[in-house]
Structure 1
Amino acid sequence: MTISLKYRIALVVFVLQVAIFSPLLWFTFTAYRDADLQQLQTREDVFMRLVSQLGRKALLTAEPTDFQLFIAPFSKDSHINRIILLNQSGIVVASTAPVDLGGPLPVQKNERNTVWKTSEIANATEQLGAITVHFSRAELDKKVEALVKRGIPIAVAGIILSALVGLGLGSLLTRRLKALEQATRRMGAGDMEVTVAISGNDEVAHLAQVFNEMSGSLRSQFDELQQVQQELSFQAQHDPLTGLPNRLLFDLRCSQAIATARQHKQLLALLFFDLDHFKNINDSYGHQVGDAVLRCVAARLTMALKDHNLIARLGGDEFCVLIEQLEQEQEAAAVAESVLHMLTVPLECEQHEFFLSASIGICLYPRDGDDEVRLLRNADTAMYRAKAAGRGGYRFYSHEQTSSVQERTSLEQRLRKAIERGELRLNYQPQVCLTTGNLVGVEALARWSSPEFGLVAPEKFIPIAEESGQILAMGEWILDDACRQMQKWRRDGSTIPRVAVNLSALQIQRSDIATLVRRTLDSTGLPANCLELEITEGYILQDADRAVAVLQQLRDLGVSIAIDDFGTGFSSLSYLHRLPIDRLKIDKSFVQEIGSTSRAAQVAQAVVSLGKTLGLSIIGEGVEQLHHANALREWGCHEGQGFLYAPALAPDQLHLLAPFKRLP
């Protein structure tokens, strides 16, 4: 069993006090006893001298009767047991005990409470006799006993006092240590505000001072640790770029919101969206500018949707909005429209101006899913439907969309192996001079014949290839195959002047396109003037300065450059005159409106006039009716391309074009 420090100190103090107090008490007791004994002995000596003198007189006068009369009263004295006077012959001549008279000195028995004292009586010449007194010490013993009786309570009281003093001193010494112990326990329990108020100059006070300093230091470190933990917790649950909640916090909050909605039988909506063509910003301006754009978009979302429950960035350019306590689905549509409206305002960032749009998918709880995983997946599906519908809009989820997404996923997976399996091929659509009807070129168009899906339309698989990044490998294959086919036609004596190949914006942004074109021309042996590269107007608008540099590199190779789908990208005319291009292709959406009252026909005529002014060759796409061709020719357009002349044909079917070499 462990004895506490308090009782150990008390025991030590008790032992020390007893060790000091006991000798002191014993010394006092013996001093009192010795003093009484000395006083008694003095009285006995005085009495001995007195009776010796009287005995001497009796012996000298040979009349011991007077001495007998003198000592007779002492027979009743409690301090004197016997007084015996002996003559020179040792015979008792006087005694307080008459039985002793005439006899020798009685035997002296040693007793605890008595003492025999003898004094010789003599004169100058001879020994006269002796006197013996038997003194009683009983009274002295009684005094000693009384002293002992008085001393025992004193000793007991001293022992008790010693114990109390020991306990008190132990408590005094350990009370401050106890305060330190309690403070330490509180600190161990997490109370970092604890301090100990112990004054003094001793070691315990110094220890308390050290404890308080340590407590202050730990409190400061604890505060810093809490701040770090809060920061780490915030960073773990928030997007470091925008400060919005991340996927982890979104899943948690969404799960809680679903539980609350289930309990109260409420609706909630989930909006999932990303920015349209955001990759173009990263590829054209760099990720630093792209990150700045995302921060600006997040700030706008926070301002526009501050009354809604949760806005989160899930990654990349993907955002989510969770709307709780929904009354009707139109409220979700209103939020989506506010997001789209917010993005229509031009965004100025890093000394650039951006025109953004988003595609938004909306799903509702509990109609479209009963957990956060299903809701997010279905909202993502609806978002892709919004993209397929032309981007810049929103779509509610429907169960039919799931099969569409599954089909798209299957197409994407199958497309990855299409080149290796030989499922892709190039067809060529003629480009005809509107004046002479002569063939002036062909445009290479990719076709995919899948064993699983059959003939897949370009407008279906090309966007998938661009979004998945497969357009890079596909575009390189198209360029190489088209150049090889063109060189084969040349060797076979064909009079086709050029082949046009479309370049994806992703090809230009993510690869050294000039090096790729040069390598392809070198490997196929095709002269550069037989190749025309078509660039979409949208790419030029994204980064006109870089577009000028890239197009100039291509022009320096000797190839010709055409701007495809001109009129659909809201081009900046301030850049158009700087572009090293040879041809403008009027988008078919304008050409097919020729002959109607639509303003699109007027746009087509304006594009022709603009091209003529800049000295560029003009080609109209989508020429399907004779009046399309006639109008374009009258406006001054040089070339036409469309079903009026021929669809895209296999390389060995171009001989079918002979009947079309006439004025349309």
Structure 2
Amino acid sequence: MSIRNNLRITLFVLSLLPIIFLSALSYHMMSGKLIAAEKAALMQTAVTNSQGLKALLESRQTEINLLAQDSSIYDYMSLASEKSASSTALKNTLFKAAAASLYNHSKTLSYYQNIKVYDRDNTVILSTDGQETNKQVSDNLTLTYMRATSKEANAVSGILKKKQADGSSRFYIEVGCPVKQINNSKNILGYLVGTLDISSFYSYLSSMTVGSKGYAFCLDKYGNYIFHPNSRYIDTNIKDDRLGRLVTDYYSGKIEESGSFRYAFESLDTIYGYSILKDTGWVVVMKQEANSVTGLARIILYIFMAGIVLCSLIMLFASDKVATFYTEPIMELKNTLRTASEGNLRAQSNIRSKNEFGELSRNLNKMLHIVRSSYNELSAMHEELITKEEQLRLNYNHIEYLAYHDILTNLPNKMAFIERVNQAISSSPGSNKIHAVFFVDMDDFKTVNDTLGHECGDNLLSQTAAHLLSLTTSDDILARAGGDEFLLFREDLENEQEALDFAETVIDSLKVPFHINEEYIYVSLSIGIALYPKNGLTHTSLIKNADIAMYKSKDTGKNKFTLFDVTMEEELNRNSLITEVLRHAIANKEIYVMYQPQYNIRKEEMTGFEALMRIHNPKLGELTPQEFIPVAEESGMITELGEWILREACLFNKRLIDCGHDSLSVSVNISSVQLSKANFKDIIQNILEETGLPAANLELEVTESTLVSSLTNASVQLSSLKELGVLISLDDFGTGYSSLNYLTNMPIDTLKMDKSFVNNICSNAKDARIASGIINLAHSMKLEVIAEGVEKVEQLEVLRRNKCDIIQGYIYSKPILPHVLFETLIPASEDTGNDTTEKVYQNDVKSIKFS
């Protein structure tokens, strides 16, 4: 679109916007003023009408008060209130006089449906309805109110509804006053109550209107219609939260006694004014539709809109003239600049006007003159730039080098390594060529940094990189992957063995130490190897698989190389799955406990049992402790799992104790991760307090490897646990370091002889002597000995001859589920006094499901 059209449209739109804005603003302001005035008027009308209604109610109250002062009625009530016996003739005479007077008054007060006189016992003694005489009333709110307050009652009992003979309903309120003794106002003779027909107010309420569409209605404190121009609404609820809560909000102090507001009721924008009769709890509401109030504002808006149409025609013509006047000079300048851009720097603008366009034309001509003068200078600078291009190219090459090389070792970085591997792979798709990726990691490099400093560590990295580079050929690429990790790629190998031989050469070449800062530092490497295409077809899979193989080298002793095998990835994936299972094992109820009893062969009785953690997952099946315990320790989840089995074992043993087996102890294995926790003693103490198990009935089993990790810390922790009263057992004794230092410095109660010695105790004299020595050594230090894995009678006899204390194994019992052990120790027929507890627990342990 041309600038002329843009300017024409802009001027047209901008000229109309203020008019439209002012029209909308005027309509809004006038509407607001009209609404505000109408709200004030409605509120004032509601107040005036409520005062009139209040006056009507007060006049009815006055009528009842005057009727109560009638001498005939008063004399009869005075006689009826006396306890002494009076003559029947006198009573009949006074009754007839009072009844006649009440009847005559009721003719005058025709809007009362009924007038009754009650004595102090709430018994009707006079009534315009003779059938109600001598009836006693017990639940009348008007009488209750007057009895409690000695005051007049006006609509205290709310709206009363009565069915008529024709099926219609009429609505009433009760107006009453207490009749007091003339010479003693505190003495109440009885009560006079008139049932007032509300329809007597309708002529007044119907006259309350506002404008052509406004009208009034009246609600009680519960939001029920007392009056509405449409009679079908009377005695129904208004079904609106805000309008129905007006009286409630007033009594709670949220709103004033009278007010007004704008509100959408039944999808209609409406203005309301209200006034509350606080004595009766009624509210008079004046209603007016907002549209009928804002009609004048809409008429003014229509006038403005007609003016807008007229102005738009005028502005359309004016904007065209203005656009033409201002765009012609612009077109002249555009043509001049186009000619100059095509190379004719002698082009000139010929605008002669004395306004800004003329000044712009003169300045443009001056600028073109300057451009012509500067052209030669620019040509000279062009030659100079060409000479500097070479320097920029050199700088670019240096930047590119930095992007693809490691600054510390000057080796290619991982990005350069990946490009090289991709080139080799893309050049040999489908061929029989073998390529190898070596993932090299320095063993214990962190120790060098921590002991000798990072500067020494950087020096060691540089020397190691130089050494590895010396072992490669020009066709190989060695790159630093980051930290103490290197990547090495060799292509076109003859066979798999060539890659293994090269890795062995690398490891053997590092037997000579590096000399750094007068220190001799020995370096060992863990190497993982992945072959193309056997172990991967992309650089990503090759590097990943080489990394997996490298960690396998780390896990199996370091300073070695490992060729990737698919089982490694499966093992890694399975470990990941096991980690995920462990994370949710407790929540998913996949973890459970089995108990293996321990039998004292000297006392010929069961003395305890070992708690064994088991996990069953629907996808992975039954997981062995040898499989999931290392994963749990490495991931740190052994803490949560260990705490769970401790609590379960203590609860189970506490239930056995409650059933009479107070000499049984439960053994629970604890790992080095748990023992290293500073708050481990607090955890044990909390579990014992929570379960109620005596500390002497809990035995914690620690292995030699757990003690080796931190002998000092373990000694402190075990001593603090002994202070609680728990027992400590040294598990798998003989399989680790078997240091006597454990036995002398550690607070140990029991020694568990490993199954490996028990297996051959009958056939191997050496194992038999070792087992005998362990038992004698433990007894000399006043420790009990438990032999694990006893499966044969012959093994049992040898252990019995060597005075072993306790056995644990299949010869006595396999690990069994809690409910089996529970039922074995506590038969169902045995009356222990805790039947309910035992049955509930047995149901709990039997609820474990296995596929």
- Normalising TM by the smaller chain, what interval? 0.5 to 0.7
Q: How does the TM-score come out when normalised to structure 1?
A: 0.52
2:818 aligns with: 651
1:441 aligns with: 608
C-alpha distance in structure 2 between counterparts of 1:621 and 1:639, whole Å: 9
Secondary structure of 2:641 counterpart: helix
Residue type of the partner of 2:618?
A: P
Secondary structure of 1:367 counterpart: coil
Matches within 5 A, 1:403-482: 403=570, 405-482=572-649
C-alpha distance in structure 2 between counterparts of 1:244 and 1:433, whole Å: 68
C-alpha distance in structure 2 between counterparts of 1:569 and 1:393, whole Å: 24
- Which range is displaced more, 401-410 or 538-547? 401-410
C-alpha distance in structure 2 between counterparts of 1:597 and 1:498, whole Å: 33
Matches within 5 A, 1:145-544: 190=391, 237=406, 251=418, 254-255=421-422, 258=425, 266-270=433-437, 288=450, 307=471, 326-333=493-500, 362-379=529-546, 396-399=563-566, 402-403=569-570, 405-509=572-676, 512-544=679-711
Secondary structure of 2:531 counterpart: strand
C-alpha distance in structure 2 between counterparts of 1:344 and 1:501, whole Å: 45
Cα drift, residue 393 of structure 1: 8.0
- Which range is displaced more, 630-639 or 252-261? 252-261
Secondary structure of 2:631 counterpart: helix
| Count of matched residue positions in the alignment of Structure 1 and Structure 2 | 441
Deviations 1:71-99 (A, max 9, x none): xxxxxxxxxxxxxxxxxxxxxxxxxxxxx
Equivalent of 1:569, from 736, 746, 760? 736
Matches within 5 A, 1:74-89: none
1:555 aligns with: 722
| C-alpha distance 370-458 of structure 1, shift in aligned 2 (>3 A) | same
1:625 aligns with: 792
2:712 aligns with: 545
C-alpha distance in structure 1 between counterparts of 2:632 and 2:563, whole Å: 25
Deviations 1:532-565 (A, max 9, x none): 1112221222222222222222223222222222
Residue type of the partner of 1:436?
A: K
Residue type of the partner of 1:417?
A: H
C-alpha distance in structure 2 between counterparts of 1:275 and 1:585, whole Å: 39
Contact 2:676 2:713 in 1 (8 A): no
Cα drift, residue 587 of structure 1: 2.3
C-alpha distance in structure 1 between counterparts of 2:526 and 2:431, whole Å: 31
Secondary structure of 1:590 counterpart: helix
C-alpha distance in structure 1 between counterparts of 2:501 and 2:577, whole Å: 33
| C-alpha distance 605-360 of structure 1, shift in aligned 2 (>3 A) | farther
Contact 1:273 1:383 in 2 (8 A): yes
1:67 aligns with: none
Secondary structure of 1:539 counterpart: helix
Residue type of the partner of 1:530?
A: N
| C-alpha distance 543-617 of structure 1, shift in aligned 2 (>3 A) | same
Q: Which has the larger radius of gyration?
A: 1
| C-alpha distance 369-517 of structure 1, shift in aligned 2 (>3 A) | same
Contact 2:461 2:484 in 1 (8 A): no
Secondary structure of 2:730 counterpart: strand
Q: Which has the higher contact order (CA 8 A, sep 6+)?
A: 1
1:579 aligns with: 746
Cα drift, residue 365 of structure 1: 1.7
C-alpha distance in structure 1 between counterparts of 2:452 and 2:601, whole Å: 44
C-alpha distance in structure 2 between counterparts of 1:265 and 1:377, whole Å: 22
Residue type of the partner of 2:539?
A: E
Cα drift, residue 180 of structure 1: 12
Gaps of 5+ in 1: 2-177, 194-221, 346-355, 660-664
Equivalent of 1:592, from 759, 777, 788? 759
C-alpha distance in structure 2 between counterparts of 1:243 and 1:522, whole Å: 63
Cα drift, residue 527 of structure 1: 2.0
C-alpha distance in structure 1 between counterparts of 2:431 and 2:593, whole Å: 59
Contact 2:676 2:714 in 1 (8 A): no
Contact 2:448 2:457 in 1 (8 A): no
Cα drift, residue 444 of structure 1: 0.9
Secondary structure of 2:614 counterpart: strand
Residue type of the partner of 1:583?
A: T
Contact 1:541 1:569 in 2 (8 A): no
Contact 1:514 1:553 in 2 (8 A): yes
Deviations 1:104-126 (A, max 9, x none): xxxxxxxxxxxxxxxxxxxxxxx
Contact 2:449 2:457 in 1 (8 A): no
2:258 aligns with: none
Superposed CA RMSD: 5.4
Contact 1:484 1:524 in 2 (8 A): yes
Cα drift, residue 596 of structure 1: 3.5
Contact 1:432 1:438 in 2 (8 A): yes
Contact 1:294 1:317 in 2 (8 A): no
| C-alpha distance 417-599 of structure 1, shift in aligned 2 (>3 A) | same
Cα drift, residue 436 of structure 1: 2.9
Cα drift, residue 457 of structure 1: 2.5
Q: How does the TM-score come out when normalised to structure 2?
A: 0.42
